A and B are shown apart, each in its own frame.
Chain A
Amino acid sequence: MTMKPSTNSLCTPDEHQVSRRQLLGMTAAAGALGLGGLGGLVNPLIADDMKSKEKQVLFIWIDGGMSQLESWDPKPNTQFGGPFRSIPTSIPGIHLSELMPRTASIMHKLALDRGVSTFDNSHSAGVPRINRGDPKDRGVVYPYFGSAVANLMGPGDSGLPPYVWVKPGSGGFKYQDAGFLGPKYGALAIGEGEAPPNILLPGQFDDDSNNERNALRKFANKQYKSQRPPTFSEAQDFVYDTAQALMQRRSLFDDPDPADVERYGDTPLGRDMLIGRKMIEAGVRFVKVNSYGWDTHGDNFNGHASLMPRFDQAFTAVVEDLDQRGMLDHVLVIAMSEFGRTPRINGHIGRDHWPEAWSIAMTGTGIKQGAMIGETNEQGTWVTSEPHDIGHFFHTWFNALGIDSEHTEYINDGQPLPIANDDCTPIRELLA
């Protein structure tokens, strides 16, 4: 989606300031830059850069904290290593936990940083902090990564909302992620694999009668618009067009192909990862796939023995699918939690929160496949390489998406705000 100056004489630039108070998940801003269609959702600062770059993001959020020791950074036969062995991967010298054999087989397709070191060790502070890229506190609420990408890159040509969140539990329009960008950059949440409310055409309509009533509606709208300034009408038309684009893609919510279910796993994460892939294929700019239940303060090892295979299967399947379809060229894939888990095993045979030393995996557009960087000490307690905070990753990912993170700013009510923590820089070793 490109930015064009308005050609309509009823639109003058000073009336086109986007209010950050525009409401609701996926709203159209009346007067937002005066454009019909989707233009109002694109940050004008980089809109031209984005032209013809249809990059997308699949963001896999493992809520509660995946144990790095039972996954990306195993330390078998050490004081805190736990009962699981490590296994070799497709990259010589790199080992993963035995709980993720499928991932091990595609390791050369991935990039891994084992030197992640962040700060907040509580969920309540850690989840938003990590999701916002730990911006410096400038008195505003920063957007989550998905809302940031939705704002910076716009919705693309799919006609679908730019930020879709596939998750267990409730669906709906989740505006909270958007922070100061305003609710329209919030997420359209798909809960339990179910379509958003009222997305299905009711039984009394077929395609013909649906087209018939909408043709009448458009006739009426044309009469009205011909006499009025265009901004309100365009905003209304935009939300109806988007709603109908969603309805057109209702097959995204159809029962999945049994063969796919077999490969992704008949689990909530398998189901959601599959919907996530379909959303990416349908052109959604940013898809967050959410897995809950990883906060294993008690019985960590049985917990991960049960959770890890579900992740391993779904994650491997989606990376392989995107790879086979040639989509890793333009899709950035990230798998991460809000923090890692303590090397020390507590009295409940669990591991607690450990932001000091953990791992993040990624692949896809802009990322150097096979890059294995970062190190922890022998017991896995501390990072021995240069530690990387979440701010470094936001810079890295923005750059992987073609956004110059060090020179791009949001403008919020006249206040310029850097899009990523300005004490941090991109991690060049991870970038292709």
Chain B
Amino acid sequence: MFYCVNLLSWLLSEPHYYTRMHLCTSCKLNVMKSFITYILALTLCLPSFAYGQEQQLHQFIDQQIADATSRPLAQPSTDAEFLRRIYLDLVGQIPTALEAEQFIGDSSRAKRAKLIDTLLADPRYTRRMTEFFNVMLMERRGADDNWERFLRTSFENNTSWDQLVRDIVSPDTSNEDSRGSAYFLTKRLEKYGQNPTDFPGLARDIGRMFLGMDLACAQCHDHLFIDDYKQADFQGLFAFINNSFIRRDTDFPAIGMQPVKAKLEFNSVFEEGAFSTGPKLPGLTEIPIPEFVAGEEFAIEPNKETKAPGVPKFNPLDYLAKQLPATTNESFNLNAANRIWFLMMGRGLVHPLDLHHSDNPASHPDLLTHMANEFAAHNYNIKWLIREIALSDTYQRTSVVSDGLADAKPKEFRIFHEKPMSAEQLMWSMLAATGQLNLLSADDNSSATADPEAEEEPLLLGLDDIRTDFLAAFANPPREPETDFAPSVRGALFVLNGPRVLSWIPAQPGNLAERLNQQSANYANTLYLAVLSRHPTAVEQDHFDSFISNHPDKTAAIEQAIWALLASNEFAINH
């Protein structure tokens, strides 16, 4: 560990780094500062909380965003903009041309709210949330059927966020629908490459995903740059899981626990002395470790025949399941609200999502606190929170820059900022735009009659291979959060030359190219509705109509035009 001391001496040898240093000598002051901030925040929140009783959350959101700036806010999105965005966010794919045309043409005033409710009830909502939370929670570490089933069942039933997290940190092996939740823990305890079992990484990820705190740099010492993150916070979290292991006696992901006999001891590379902690969440009380007479640690003794590990009387994960997803755990509530805000807005009120501390406060602290409190008060109802955000003017603003908005910063939420599309959103949208999705489904229908279970869960023919290709082209490497926009050369080559998407373009019965082939005019309108979910502008209409009409080979021209819009930035971005 002496390298950390080297780091210290190196930092100290460079005077200009002093400003970034917040070492332990100054901690007392900083604790005071945090405490005052906390009291202030509480005081500020009280009136707004009272006010929130009379106001719906989406109205509160808009008021807070407007109150925080003196600069102009963007106009409402057009119907087409809103339509594409809400489809991508709630059901993970673009609308069909018909859906787009109908919605744009619908003159009823409540049509946006109605669409939001329709999509929240759509089976594809379950698929979208399963995909989104799989990426967020597992960060492309791999796939597991049991885990997928856990997520799917949870979102199908609109399981509350606290229950979902409880399932993850303390999986119930007897529940076949939910026990795959253990994959969150077990996958992180798998060895990869020649690295040792990454217990610290698991502790870190529990902090990141469920408390919005990345405590990685506080493993060996208090965080150098972040006053709030203490070594004791990391070690307390670590003490929940450092005796856990992957069970080998089950055919589903399952976690076991060795008896915990003593507190976890640790040293700081900066401070003299030995420290110890039992399981403890940041800001909460330490969990006492009960003493058992040797040989009486287990509630259920290990079974040598079935190879089932023993169940210790004291399991820190039981306490984690009680303390972490609790309405009284402020960090838990703030993180949950922030992550669902990110799902809709593409950027957290706290950003990055896992660096919440007093020097990186929320852009709109009262809004986040209120939203977190309301989320808890609504029993962590995920659909409710998504619906409220979707109903807000803030979510429904245009992403088009107009006067007074050129200086809009993402953290201001004065304009809707472009968001990246996930590999899954791109896949479903390209399938939908070309009409290939119907062809996969049609293939499935023919076989569905033979397999009664297929009705419940339509298996799209060849979907696994398609997904593999799209993940290879567009997904992040494992263990990298997918929060920023980062297109890749590999993805561009996939669209430019890959046989997968190119093979969906030529005319087949019922697909987009065939529809266009049958037309003799107004190609651009059909094309734009199908691929970009909007009507073309006059310039675009003229450009594409004359391109196709004047081309010596109409079929080829139609294919070129479809490809060009599929490969366009407007298609690749959620805006």
Contacts and interface: CB of A to CB of B under 8 A. Distances in A.
Task: Please say whether chains A and B are actual partners in one complex.
Answer: yes
Interface of A: 9-10, 12, 14-15, 19, 21-31, 124, 136-139, 161, 172-173, 175-176, 183-184, 188, 196-202, 204, 209, 212-214, 216-217, 219-221, 223-225, 227-229, 231-233, 235-240, 242-244, 246-247, 414-416, 422
Nearest to A232: B418
A124 B192 CA distance: 13
Interface in B532-575: 537, 539-540, 543-544, 547, 556, 560-561, 563-565, 567-570, 572-573, 575
B10 interface: yes
A183 B570 contact: no
20 contacts: A23-B480, A26-B490, A27-B488, A27-B489, A29-B486, A136-B3, A139-B217, A161-B489, A173-B489, A183-B480, A213-B563, A217-B564, A220-B540, A220-B565, A224-B570, A227-B400, A232-B569, A232-B573, A235-B486, A244-B496
Contacts of A24: 476-477, 486, 488, 490-491
A138 B3 contact: yes
Contact of A202 (B10, B401, B476, B502): B502
B191 interface: no
A282 to B, nearest CB: 15
B477 A30 contact: no
B448 to A, nearest CB: 34
A246 B570 CA distance: 24
A224 B569 contact: yes
A22 B486 contact: yes
Interface residues of B, number: 64
A232 B420 CA distance: 9
Interface string B485-510: 11111111110111100100000000
Given A217-B567, A224-B568, A243-B496, A28 B486 contact: yes
Contacts of B417: 229
B407 interface: yes
Contact of A173 (B225, B401, B490): B490
B409 interface: yes
Contacts of B472: 197
B523 to A, nearest CB: 12
B410 interface: yes
B489 A228 contact: no
Contacts of B502: 202, 204
A23 B572 contact: no
Contacts of B490: 24-26, 172-173, 196-198
Contacts of A232: 418, 485, 569, 573
Contact of A21 (B17, B407, B480): B480
Contacts of B497: 198-202, 247
A347 to B, nearest CB: 26
Contact of A236 (B540, B563, B573): B573
Given A213-B560, A221-B569, A414-B225, A173 B484 contact: no
Contacts of B539: 223
B20 A216 contact: no
Contacts of B409: 12, 14-15
B7 interface: yes
Contacts of A224: 568-570
A286 B448 CA distance: 54
Contacts of B123: none
Given A232-B569, A247-B496, A247-B497, A21 B556 contact: no
Best-buried of B194, B477, B543 by chain A (most CB within 10 Å): B477
B482 interface: yes
B487 A27 contact: yes
Contacts of B483: 21
Nearest to A174: B477
Interface string B302-338: 0000000000000000000000000000000000000
Nearest to A243: B492
Nearest 6 Cβ contacts at the A-B interface: A216-B564, A24-B488, A243-B492, A137-B3, A30-B485, A198-B493
B226 to A, nearest CB: 10
Interface string B453-489: 0000000000000000000100011001111111111
A30 B400 CA distance: 18
Contacts of A197: 472, 490, 493-494, 498
B482 A23 contact: yes
B406 A25 contact: no
Given A228-B401, A414-B20, A239 B564 contact: no
A186 B214 CA distance: 24
A136 B537 CA distance: 58
